[in-house]
């Protein structure tokens, strides 16, 4: 199956691009023998204004990703009020001292990557009596500059999250090294996810939809393909 081409940014609206991407995603999933509903498309709305996001919400899309807490807090409370079904995913790094705000405002956090953050999240889960869906970020490429739990420490960390902090871990996330072929990183993550039980999660980024479909991803994150280029 050839990789899908991203929709042209300029001659379509964001809801139109989204419709086209969803169709390609469904085709990729079916070609891989998976049910299209098993892969959730996260529309990455970072840097885009509330007025750019609103039409995508109005078209019925539910899952959105933001990478900065403050930006999300500025934009999303009003949008969530208008569209209470919307689900907000924190896809960027999270400082421990912001864990409580993240638990209060996000429906999913994709970057749980260290014990100190797990402890702070656990406190906030108690305080707010709500637990966002949590994904452990894994540093599959052993990159020193990148956050994420190293593969050797993964099983121990997931166990500690569950046993010591009472957190429910929904899956794993990785950002493969920019200069590597990404597919093996996703394949590895899928294997480890099965070993430590949770479902795997990967993002699609520019590697097109079929990689996510082929390697068992449960979530795929696309921004510019939906909203157009960032200013």
Contact positions toward ligand PLP, by CB under 6 A? 44, 46, 67, 91-92, 203, 205, 221-225
Query: Residue 209's Cα: distance from chain center in Å?
Result: 14
Contact call for residues 106 and 89 (beta carbons, < 8 A): yes
Q: In terms of CB distance, is 192 or 202 closer to ligand PLP? A: 202
Q: In terms of CB distance, is 84 or 229 closer to ligand PLP? A: 229
| Structure token digits, residue 91 | 């896809």
Q: Which residue is nearest to ligand PLP (CB)?
A: 223
Q: How far is the CB of 172 from ligand PLP (least distance, A)?
A: 14
Q: How far is the CB of 123 from ligand PLP (least distance, A)?
A: 25
Q: How far is the CB of 206 from ligand PLP (least distance, A)?
A: 6
For residue 150, the SS3 value is coil
Q: In terms of CB distance, is 34 or 146 closer to ligand PLP? A: 146
Q: In terms of CB distance, is 25 or 122 closer to ligand PLP? A: 25
DSSP label of 144: T
Instruction: Classify residue 60 as exposed, middle or buried by CB count within 10 Å of its CB (0-12, 13-18, 19+).
Output: exposed
Give the C-alpha separation, 192 to 151, whole Å. 9
Instruction: Of 86, 95, 82, give the one whose Cα is nearest residue 63.
Output: 86
Q: In terms of CB distance, is 17 or 203 closer to ligand PLP? A: 203
Q: How far is the CB of 225 from ligand PLP (least distance, A)?
A: 6
Q: How far is the CB of 14 from ligand PLP (least distance, A)?
A: 12
Q: How far is the CB of 175 from ligand PLP (least distance, A)?
A: 7
CA dihedral 205, 209, 213, 217 (to 10 degrees): 20
Give the C-alpha separation, 31 to 26, whole Å. 9
Residue 40's beta-bridge partner residues? Answer: 219
Contacts of residues 97-100 at CB distance under 8 Å and 24 or more positions apart, as own/partner, are 98/69, 99/123, 99/124, 100/124, 100/127, 100/128
Q: In terms of CB distance, is 90 or 122 closer to ligand PLP? A: 90
């Amino acid at each position: 199956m050839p990789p899908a081409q991203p929709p042209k940014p300029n001659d379509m609206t964001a809801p139109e691009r989204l419709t086209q991407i969803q169709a390609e995603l469904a085709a990729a999933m079916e070609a891989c023998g998976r049910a299209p509903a098993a892969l959730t498309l996260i529309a990455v709305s970072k840097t885009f204004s509330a007025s750019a996001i609103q039409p995508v919400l109005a078209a019925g899309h539910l899952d959105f990703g933001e990478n900065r807490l403050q930006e999300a807090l500025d934009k999303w409370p009003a949008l969530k009020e208008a569209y209470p079904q919307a689900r907000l995913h924190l896809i960027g790094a999270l400082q421990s001292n912001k864990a409580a705000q993240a638990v209060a405002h996000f429906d999913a956090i994709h970057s749980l990557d260290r014990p100190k953050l797990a402890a702070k999240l656990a406190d906030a889960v108690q305080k707010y009596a709500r637990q966002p869906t949590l994904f452990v970020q894994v540093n599959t490429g052993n990159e020193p500059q990148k956050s994420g739990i190293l593969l050797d420490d993964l099983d121990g960390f997931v166990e500690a999250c569950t046993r010591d902090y009472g957190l429910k871990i929904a899956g794993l996330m990785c950002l493969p090294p920019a200069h590597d072929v990404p597919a093996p990183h996703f394949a590895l993550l899928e294997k480890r996810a099965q070993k430590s039980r949770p479902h795997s999660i990967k993002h699609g980024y520019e590697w097109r939809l079929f990689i996510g479909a082929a390697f068992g991803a449960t979530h795929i994150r696309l921004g510019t393909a939906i909203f157009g280029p960032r200013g």
